[in-house]
Structure 1
Amino acid sequence: MTIAPTAAATTPVEEKGPARSGPTTSPRGASLRLTAFRSPAHTPGHSPRYGASQPSPMDRNELARRLAEEGCNPANYTIGRGGSDAFCLHQTDGLWTVFYTERGLDSPPVFESADEEEACRFCLDKILSMRHDHCVGIFRSQRKARALAARLEHNRVEAWRDEILYSAPDDLRYRVFVTGKAVFEARALLGELPLGD
């Protein structure tokens, strides 16, 4: 299927995501050029073949449902305003924009469209392309963090650990993470997350 570029409703822009370090680094730290395209289903005058499956309608509510269903971490995105260190979908004066916000400062949009569905589909693809880590435990005790990771692995839930400085140079916290949809298995096994001591 050929996807033709559209110049009417969307504006291609260059994206530069923020750089991050450590094991939580995600693809949003990379520099890339994004060009907005319109799918054939949205191309004026295009008539899809008989029997071809059509994508379900996409709006803000459906976007939120799909992202939650895919195990995306809500800390990585915001639908509307109010996020920090996250990608945001927001409407201003009839224009839908997708942009990154960090510590209250908004980066230039990576996508703009007057069409809510186009903006939501772009945002869905963008957020799904990112790695979504979920903290399932944070402890003062390294032994407890290791035990939690071992319990998850024993139940075939892939986990990884790190440690961070907390309030002082000698005050460490040991964290345990799972990635993506593994958070559903972790919740079923452990209950309310994150665990602590």
Structure 2
Amino acid sequence: MNESEIKTVLELEEWLKENCFSLLSYSINGNFIYEGFGLENNGGLFQWYYTERGEKKVLEYFATEKDAVQYALKTIKADKHAKRNFLGMYKADSEVKSILLELKKREIEYWTDRIPYGGLDDWRTRIFVIGCGIKKAKDLIKK
């Protein structure tokens, strides 16, 4: 489906899935998220909102589904994190090197960062696969 043809929330959800956008931070068509942005129909008025720790704040209102969907699509596409699909979090540098070598061998684009998982003495490396590269890395997803 071409982006310009997207007019409904269902079509937006399908397009995002087809193009390997992560829906962990976006609630489109009612999927549950802990934190992130969402689009919902509230009594015929479409709302673009942000939710964090159970608190929802409406950011934009739209009279038509098409306008709401086009806004959501533009916003999601502009988010550099939206196409980052979580592969796993690793403590051992040797494990990180092994996974990254495998991703390079498969010519899969990725992104990494390091976070203090259990405090400043417990660093972890997170690995994200960009876009549809996740389809070629399903066997590497850390459960």
Please, what TM-score do these two structures have when normalized by structure 1?
0.61
Residue by residue over 1:104-137, the C-alpha shift from the partner in whole angstroms, topping out at 9 and shown as x without a partner, is 2233423x22222221222122212212222212
Is residue 173 from structure 1 mapped to residue 127 from structure 2 by the alignment? Answer: no
Query: Is the 2:113–2:125 Cα contact (8 Å) retained in structure 1?
Result: yes
Structure 2 match to 1:89: 39
- Runs (4+) of structure 1 exceeding 3 A deviation are none
Q: Following TM superposition, by how much is the alpha carbon of 1:101 offset from its aligned partner in structure 2, in angstroms? A: 1.8
Q: Which runs of 5+ in 2 are unaligned?
A: none
Amino acid at match of 1:78: S
Q: Which runs of 5+ in 1 are unaligned?
A: 1-52
In structure 2, the residue corresponding to 1:72 is in which secondary structure?
Answer: coil
Structure 1 match to 2:142: 195
Is residue 78 from structure 1 mapped to residue 36 from structure 2 by the alignment? Answer: no
Structure 2 match to 1:151: 102
How big is the alpha-carbon RMSD for the aligned residues of Structure 1 and Structure 2? 2.3
Query: Is the 1:152–1:158 Cα contact (8 Å) retained in structure 2?
Result: yes
Measured in 1, the distance between the counterparts of 2:119 and 2:35 equals 24
Q: Which has the higher strand share?
A: 2
Q: Following TM superposition, by how much is the alpha carbon of 1:74 offset from its aligned partner in structure 2, in angstroms? A: 0.8
Amino acid at match of 1:141: A
Query: Identical aligned pairs, as a percentage?
Result: 27
Residue by residue over 1:139-173, the C-alpha shift from the partner in whole angstroms, topping out at 9 and shown as x without a partner, is 22111011101110122112232222223443332
Measured in 2, the distance between the counterparts of 1:166 and 1:149 equals 20
Tell which structure's C-alpha radius of gyration is larger. Answer: 1
Higher mean C-alpha deviation, range 97-106 or range 65-74: 97-106
Structure 2 match to 1:56: 5
Q: Which has the higher helix share?
A: 2
The number of residue pairs the alignment matches comes to 138
**Cα distance change on mapping 1:83 and 1:94 into 2, 3 Å:** same
**Structure 2 counterpart of 1:99, from 49, 57, 70:** 49
In structure 1, the residue corresponding to 2:137 is in which secondary structure?
Answer: helix
Measured in 1, the distance between the counterparts of 2:66 and 2:95 equals 45
In structure 1, the residue corresponding to 2:67 is in which secondary structure?
Answer: helix
